[in-house]
Amino acid sequence: MTGATTSMTLGSHFTYFITIFLMVAGLFIVISRPNLIKKLIGLGIFQTSVYLLYIAPAKLIGGTAPILSNAFTVYSNPLPHVLILTAIVVGVATLALGLALVVRIREAYDTIEEDDILARDSNAEDNGNAT
């Protein structure tokens, strides 16, 4: 689409760098943090990078909002926006569900640290009252 028309310079592709930074940072948080909330934050950052990946190329320099008018001929691509609106909703739902689960996990385990939860479960198994 747009980016491909210009030459490969750092400047013209800066959105991709941001995208990739967010992507990797988010994924890293998910993997490295034992705190369940922080994991969800990481997941959020990771998903945000996708929004950027879609939206950034859709913007044409000099293009306007895609509402027909005689004054303009160059429009930004509206489709990615619609897609990402959907993706955001999905992200919100995921986050809400994740947080709800964390709340209930905290009620059941009294902790939101992954290691503690695993430790408590294995203890319960040892005592034979797992189920």
What distance in Å separates the CA atoms of residue 106 and residue 70, rounded to the nearest whole number?
58
Q: How far apart are CA 45 and CA 49, in angstroms?
A: 6
Binding of another protein by 29 (CB under 8 A) = no
Closer residue to another protein in complex, CB, 11/28: 28
Amino acid at 40: L
On whether the CB atoms of residues 90 and 127 are closer than 8 A, the answer is no
79 contacts 35 by C-beta, under 8 angstroms: no
The least distance separating another protein from the CB of residue 11, rounded to whole angstroms, comes to: 19
Q: Does 121 bind another protein (CB under 8 A)?
A: yes
Read off the tokens for 29. 């948080």
Minimum distance, C-beta of residue 86 to another protein, in the bound complex (Å): 6
Size of the site for another protein (CB under 8 A): 43
Nearer to another protein, 18 or 102 (CB): 102
Residues 31-70 that bind another protein (CB under 8 A): 36, 39, 43, 46-47, 50, 53-54, 57, 65, 67
User: How many whole angstroms separate alpha carbon 101 and alpha carbon 78?
Assistant: 35
Rounded CA gap, 110 and 119, in Å?
12
What is the footprint of another protein within residues 88-117 (CB under 8 A)? 89-90, 93-94, 96-105, 107-109, 117
Among the listed ranges 5-13, 68-76, 84-92, the one in contact with another protein (CB under 8 A) is 84-92
